[in-house]
Chain A
Amino acid sequence: MPKLSRFFVKSALVYLVLGALIAAGALSGAAPLPPAFLALRPLSWHLMTVGWATQLIFGVAFWMFPHLSKDSPRGDERLAWAVFWALNLGLAIRAIGEPAAALWPQALPMALLPLAAMLQVAAVWIFIVITWPRVKELGR
Chain B
Amino acid sequence: MPALSRVYLRTAMIYLALGVLLGGILLWNKGALIGGNIWIWLAAHISLVTWGWLWQVTFGVAFWILPRFGTSRGRVWLAWLAYGSVNIAIVLAALSPWLHGPWPTAIAGLLQAVAAIAFACHAWPRVKPSTYGA
A contacts, CB < 8 Å to B: 49, 53-54, 57, 60, 65-66, 94, 97-98, 101, 109-114, 116-118, 120-121, 124-125, 128, 131-132, 135-137, 139
A-B contact count (CB 8 A): 75
Q: A124 to B16, Cβ gap below 8 A?
A: yes
Q: Hey, which chain A residues are within 8 Å of B27, CB to CB?
A: 94, 98, 113-114, 116-117, 120
A interface, over-half SS: helix
Q: B31 to A128, Cβ gap below 8 A?
A: no
Residue count of chain B within 8 Å CB distance of chain A: 26
Q: A121-B24, A135-B1 are in contact. Are A110 and B53 (CB under 8 A)?
A: no
Q: Which of B23, B24, B25, B30 contacts A101 (CB 8 A)?
A: B30
In angstroms, Cα B64 to Cα A66, docked, is 11
Top 8 closest pairs, chain A to chain B, by CB: A113-B31, A117-B24, A121-B24, A117-B27, A110-B31, A124-B20, A117-B28, A114-B28
